[in-house]
Amino acid sequence: MSQQRTERGRGHYIGGEWTDGNGAEQGPASDRTESDGERTFESENPATGKPLATFQRGTAADVDAALAAAESAAEAWRSLSYIDRAEYLWDIYHELRDRHDELGEIVSKECGKEISEGKADVTEAWHMVEWAAGNARHPHGDVVPSEIGSKDAYMRRKPRGVVGCITPWNFPVAIPFWHMAIALVEGNTVVWKPAEQTPWCGQIIAEMFEESGIPDGVFNMVQGFGDAGAAIADDERVDTVLFTGSAEVGHEIAGKVGGEPGKLAACEMGGKNGIVITEEADLDIAVHAAIMSSFKTTGQRCVSSERLIVHEDVYDEFKARFVDIAEDIAVGDPLAEDTFMGPAIEADHVEKIRRHNDLAREEGANVLVDRFELADEEIPDGSEDGAATAADGERRASYANGHWVGPFVYEIDYESDLRCLNEECFGPHVALIEYSGDIEDAVEIHNDTPYGLAGAIISEDYRQLNYFRDRAEIGLAYANLPCIGAEVQLPFGGVKKSGNGYPSAREAIEAVTERTAWTMNNSREIEMAQGLSADIKTTED
């Protein structure tokens, strides 16, 4: 990405052009006037609270222009072969790999994930592009036997048309490619709204599509907030909505789209995920898996675990070991190699986490670890050797304005109607629940939540593992692992309040294509199935 392009492209990418909105093509930054910034917003570094860059805020008019471009390009795009469509993605695949370290650092700067997670986000993106583009050369459709020997019957898929993609901030590179790579290879055109917290990552992805030479209007990006996303989801020109984000927004989208004949929404939403740790657990694995599930990405994954359901026989030992590590989890600069947890995404989210912590106390929690407000010495100071210099003091002050939170761990007696055990926090907020009895009792507690996204069981008893596998009400189940770490070739989604679709891998194809059952007669006579007579009878017979 050239510096000139970085300065030029801070708006929307519509119909093959960069625009500030309302159809105005962008020129160099020096040519724009102050009036160009009247509808702008800033990307912020969560570690410092300081702005990274300024972007144009999309309006309904910008969405309209993007949808018009996507609709206009649809017929020519779908007329290409799978393989020709996939060719445009291979350049992006190589760029993601070549710029792995650079883009991983940008992800960490913009959404606060520690650097190994920032890089993994980019790796996951190229894995998804590789899967989607490679799938173009794999067999498509199914040959289906017919009752009639002279008939051929098979299934064909065809693109739905225009796909609207709305993606979250916590995986700002990976999840857009979950949605868009598959939609594009399957022959759809795309209008995408990145999360307003991570527009810089959106900018870079749009530049990659531009540089790939993809035909104008096939890929379109509109930056902005929820109103732009709603304009995409509500428009009758959009045939499928792919959404990953909060349950509240996802349910609103699914409710509206569900009432429109012929339109689909595949929504992957939040979770109140649990890990069952039975009396047969290996506690080394149990503690490691629970720490990873609870605190990676500062608990800001839809699959993060906020409930640890632990058998009474191992409860005390597990609690002591889990608490000991939670008290020392390294919270710090996301770009530092020795950081485990970075900051929360924004100030409003810090307050949301505070409210959930307070709610747990109000409902009777016994707080075991409270690092919500980190001590001054825990805030990153930006210095490499600890020497007190003026420059370090300035950097320390900048980090003090970051959105820092630490682990909050509590134990509470299980009650079905406790809000703290049913409402998603989306932060490092973890409940320990002691249970007695058999695996059936643990799974009953595990399932007692309105969500159903991810979960794990830690046990050395294969019967317990299999019971959890078959009875846990979740879309993503793990055994002797953290309940995070999806791979792109597997479905990703949940049940109940967690979603109504799987916007990744093979299952996403279901959402962005329509199936046609095609039957062809190879005979000069017509013969029907089920013994239906094909004889035409008239009154003269």
Please report how the helices 82-98 and 174-185 are oriented relative to each other, as an axis angle in degrees rounded to 10. Answer: 160
Is residue 268 part of the annotated active site? The answer reads: yes
Count other Cβ atoms within 10 Å, centred on residue 533: 8
Query: Catalytic: which of 114, 268, 424, 473?
Result: 268
DSSP one-letter string for 186-232: TT-EEEEE--TT-HHHHHHHHHHHHHHTPPTTTEEE----HHHHHHH
Residue for token pair 């998603």: 424
Give, for 244, the enclosing helix (H) or strand (E): strand 240-244
Cβ-based neighbour number of residue 325 at 10 Å: 17
Strand-strand pairing, 17-21 and 12-14 = antiparallel
Question: How many angstroms separate the Cα of 376 from the Cα of each of 24, 199, 368, 396?
Answer: 47, 31, 21, 10
Long-range residue pairs from 470-476, CB within 8 A, at least 24 positions apart, any chain? 471/440, 471/443, 471/447, 472/443, 472/446, 472/447, 473/447, 474/273, 474/498, 475/499, 475/502, 476/303
Which one, of 253, 255, 212, 215, lies nearest residue 88 by Cα?
212
Q: Name the DSSP class of 189.
A: E
Handedness of CA 476, 480, 486, 489 (dihedral sign): negative
Q: Which residue has the tokens 């910008």?
A: 62
Does the active-site annotation cover 302? yes
Contacts of 499 (CB under 8 A, 6+ apart): 250, 266, 267, 268, 269, 453, 475, 493
Residue 416, φ and ψ in degrees, nearest 5: -60, -35
Distance of CA 198 to the CA centre of its chain: 13
Six-digit token pair at 88? 């445009």
Local structure of 518: helix, strand or coil: strand
Q: Which residue in the list 165, 201, 302, 425 is annotated as catalytic?
A: 302
Distance CA 494, CA 360 (A): 25
**Rounded distance between C-alpha atoms, residue 285 and residue 31, angstroms:** 59
CA gyration radius for the chain? 26
Helix 174-185 and helix 505-512, axial crossing angle in degrees, nearest 10: 50
| Cβ proximity of 15 and 25 under 8 Å | no
* Active-site amino acid positions: 268, 302
